[in-house]
């Protein structure tokens, strides 16, 4: 007890104070797994951080064009501008047959103007027109672009043809476009002074790999001419037969002396092949004059014309609207 009455405290400590001191892990700790337990959470956090950085890098890289791969060469714009003009894409072939002999046939001439076809890669080298009326392209026409810019072709057969127009520049870039042209056929057929009319053959198979005709249009007139001696009435019947010889339509008329009778008919559901228009004399023995006009007609599915005048008009309208 101290003189002050308080308990005495030692002025020195017999034992050194004990403090908890962290020591680096030893090899024994590694062996016992203690170090793994301590470092495990740290490694996991580092892995998560690394993955996050990787995802961020991919997202940033993906937003930059061409970072993850090369550009697609197929997406490059063709340097050739196919500015081709044509006034019409349809027409009718006319054939005249008299007493079994073909007097004439007039084809359909179509023209295509390549004069305004240009290329950003150089001058134009060739222009080509494939009319589409053969199987192997042997009717295609190719010209030197420096010598000729307008290509013309005359169709002599009917059909819905796919025309391919192509252009090549001096760098061998090529461009093409296709369009559909419709070619009908009209046959003007006559036979005079006959008491045994011939059969009129109607070839309906198109000269292309395309749909057949939409219809056959018949406009026929039969005349019973007057003679020096008064004749008798004649009864006649028109017969339209398909390629199998099956009758598809008919019409009967009685024609008095010096008179005429007509038959008009539109035949649909046309199968390819040779149809026939026949006339039978059912009664009477007078000689007759026959005049058939038959149109082999296709659906109007041709492409719209692209005349040069329309482009000029559009430019004038644009200038007025400014």
pLDDT at 232: 86
Residue 156 has phi, psi (to 5 degrees) of: -115, 0
122 DSSP assignment: S
247 shares its domain with 147:
no
250 shares its domain with 205:
yes
What integer is the mean pLDDT of 227-253? 92
Asked whether residue 204 carries a pLDDT value surpassing 80, the answer given is: yes
For the entire predicted model, the pTM comes to: 0.73
Does some domain include residue 227? yes
Does some domain include residue 139? yes
- What proportion of the chain, given as a percentage, has pLDDT over 90? 67
Q: How confident is the model at residue 135 (pLDDT cuts 50, 70, 90)?
A: confident
212 shares its domain with 286:
yes
Does some domain include residue 304? no
Does some domain include residue 50? no
Does some domain include residue 241? yes
3-state secondary structure of 40: helix
Taking the CA atoms of 138, 140, 144 and 150 in sequence, report the sign of the dihedral they define. Answer: positive
Report how many domains make up the chain: 2
158 shares its domain with 198:
no
177 shares its domain with 195:
no
Q: Please tell me which residue, 35 or 277, carries the higher pLDDT value.
A: 277
Does some domain include residue 108? yes
CA dist 105 and 187 (Å) reads: 9
Q: Which domain holds residue 281?
A: 185-297
172: which 2 tokens? 């061998």
Q: How confident is the model at residue 227 (pLDDT cuts 50, 70, 90)?
A: confident
* Domain CATH for 192: 2.60.120
CA–CA distances in Å: residue 21 to residues 18, 24, 35, 107: 9, 10, 17, 111
192 shares its domain with 257:
yes
Does some domain include residue 10? no
75: which 2 tokens? 């997406």
pLDDT at 3: 46
212 shares its domain with 273:
yes
| DSSP collapsed to 3 states, 124-182 | EEEEEEECCCCCCCCCCEEEECCCCCEEEEEECCCEEEEEEEEEEECCCCEEEEEEEEE
Q: Please tell me which residue, 129 or 22, carries the higher pLDDT value.
A: 129
169 shares its domain with 228:
no
251 shares its domain with 224:
yes
Does some domain include residue 120? yes
* Domain CATH for 117: 2.60.40.10
147 shares its domain with 119:
yes
154 shares its domain with 207:
no
141 shares its domain with 211:
no
Q: Which tens digit of pLDDT belongs to each residue from 18-49?
A: 444 444 555 444 444 443 433 444 444 444 44
Query: Which of 183, 201, 236 finishes a domain?
Result: 183
């Amino acid at each position: 007890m101290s003189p002050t009455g308080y308990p005495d405290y030692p002025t020195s400590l017999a034992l050194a104070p004990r403090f908890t001191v962290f020591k680096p892990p030893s090899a024994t700790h590694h062996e016992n797994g203690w170090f793994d337990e301590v470092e495990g959470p740290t490694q996991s956090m580092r892995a998560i951080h690394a993955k996050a950085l990787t995802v961020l890098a991919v997202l940033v890289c993906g937003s930059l064009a061409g970072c993850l791969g090369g550009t697609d060469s197929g997406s490059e714009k063709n340097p050739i501008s196919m500015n081709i003009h044509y006034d019409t894409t349809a027409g009718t072939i006319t054939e005249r047959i008299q007493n079994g002999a073909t007097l004439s046939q007039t084809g359909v001439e179509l023209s295509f103007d390549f004069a305004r076809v240009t290329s950003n890669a150089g001058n134009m080298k060739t222009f080509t027109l494939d009319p589409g009326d053969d199987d192997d392209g042997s009717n295609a026409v190719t010209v030197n672009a420096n010598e000729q810019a307008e290509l013309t072709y005359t169709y002599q057969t009917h059909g819905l043809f796919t025309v391919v127009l192509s252009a090549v520049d001096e760098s061998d870039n090529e461009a093409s476009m296709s369009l559909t042209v419709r070619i009908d056929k009209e046959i003007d057929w006559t036979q005079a002074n006959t008491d045994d009319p011939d059969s009129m053959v109607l070839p309906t198979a198109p000269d292309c790999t395309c749909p057949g005709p939409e219809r056959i249009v018949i406009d026929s007139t039969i005349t019973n001419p007057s003679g020096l001696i008064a004749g008798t009435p004649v009864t006649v019947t028109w017969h339209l037969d398909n390629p199998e010889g099956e009758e598809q339509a008919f019409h009967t008329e009685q024609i008095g002396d010096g008179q005429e009778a007509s038959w008009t008919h539109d035949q649909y559901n046309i199968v390819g092949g040779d149809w026939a228009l026949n006339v039978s004399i059912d009664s009477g023995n007078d000689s007759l004059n026959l005049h058939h006009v038959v149109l082999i007609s296709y659906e109007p599915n041709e492409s719209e014309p692209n005349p040069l005048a329309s482009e000029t008009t559009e430019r004038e309208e644009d200038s007025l609207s400014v």
